Amino acid sequence: MRRPRPSTRVADRRIRALLACFGLVFAITLARAVWLQTVQAGELARRGASQQRETLTVPAARGTIFDRTGVALAIGEQATTVYANPRQVVDARTVAEAAQQTLGVDAATLYPELTDRAKGFVYVARQADPRRAQELARRHLPGLGFYPEERRVYPLGSVASQLVGFAGVDNRGLAGVELEQDAALRGHPGRETVIKDPLGRAVDVLDSVPERDGRAVYLTIDHTIQAYAEQRLRNAVSFWHAKHATAIVMNPHTGAVYAMATAPGFNANSFSALSPERTRNTAVTDTYEPGSTFKLVTVSAALAEHLVTRASAFTLPYSIHVADRVIHDAEPRPTETMTVGQILSRSSNVGAVTLARLLGPERLAEWISRFGFGHATGIDFPGESAGIVLPLRLWSGSTIGTVPIGQGIAVTPIQMATAYAAVANHGVMVEPHLVDHVVGSVRPKPRRRRVLSRDIAQQVLSMLVNVVETGTGTSAAVPGYEVAGKTGTAAKPDPRTGGYSTTKYVASFVGIVPATNPQLVILVAVDEPQGQIWGGTVAAPVFRDIARFALQYLEVPPDNPAQLQGATTAPVSTSG
Q: Which residues are catalytic?
A: 292
DSSP string, 26-69: HHHHHHHHHHHHHTSHHHHHHHHHHHHEEEEEEPPPPPPEE-TT
Q: For every residue of 141-168, which 3-state class applies, written as one string?
A: CCCEEEEEEEEEECCCCCCCHHHHCEEC
Contacts of 312 (CB under 8 A, 6+ apart): 339, 340
Query: Distances from the Cα of 373 to the Cαs of 143, 294, 297, 353, 454, in angstroms?
Result: 61, 10, 10, 19, 21
Helices (H) and strands (E) in the chain, counts: 19, 22
Contacts of 42 (CB under 8 A, 6+ apart): none
Within 13 A of 79's CA, how many CA atoms are on the CB side?
23
- Cα–Cα dist 338/470, whole Å: 14
- Cα–Cα dist 257/384, whole Å: 15
Q: What are phi and psi of 175, to 5 degrees?
A: -160, 160
Within 13 A of 470's CA, how many CA atoms are on the CB side?
8
**What SS3 class is residue 208?**
strand
- Cα–Cα dist 264/221, whole Å: 19
Query: Distances from the Cα of 490 to the Cαs of 69, 293, 363, 494, 528, in angstroms?
Result: 37, 9, 24, 12, 10
Q: Give the other-Cβ count within 10 Å of 264's Cβ.
A: 16
Please say whether the beta carbons of 460 and 423 come within 8 A. Answer: yes
Q: Strand 65-66 relative to strand 217-219: parallel, antiparallel, unpaired?
A: parallel
Burial of residue 517, with CB atoms counted within 10 A of its CB: 0-12 exposed, 13-18 middle, 19 or more buried: exposed
DSSP string, 241-287: T-SEEEEEEE-TTT-BEEEEEEES---GGGGGGS-HHHH--HHHH--
Selection from 520, 532, 435, 526 nearest residue 484 by Cα = 520
250: which strand partners? 257, 521
- Cα–Cα dist 20/17, whole Å: 5
Q: Give the other-Cβ count within 10 Å of 324's Cβ.
A: 9
Please say whether the beta carbons of 487 and 509 come within 8 A. Answer: yes
> What letter would DSSP give residue 493?
E
Selection from 467, 471, 380 nearest residue 432 by Cα = 380
Selection from 152, 169, 128 nearest residue 63 by Cα = 152
Residue spans of alpha helices (H) in 166-245: 176-180, 182-186, 223-240
Q: Give the other-Cβ count within 10 Å of 280's Cβ.
A: 16
- Cα–Cα dist 183/222, whole Å: 23
193: which strand partners? 55, 207
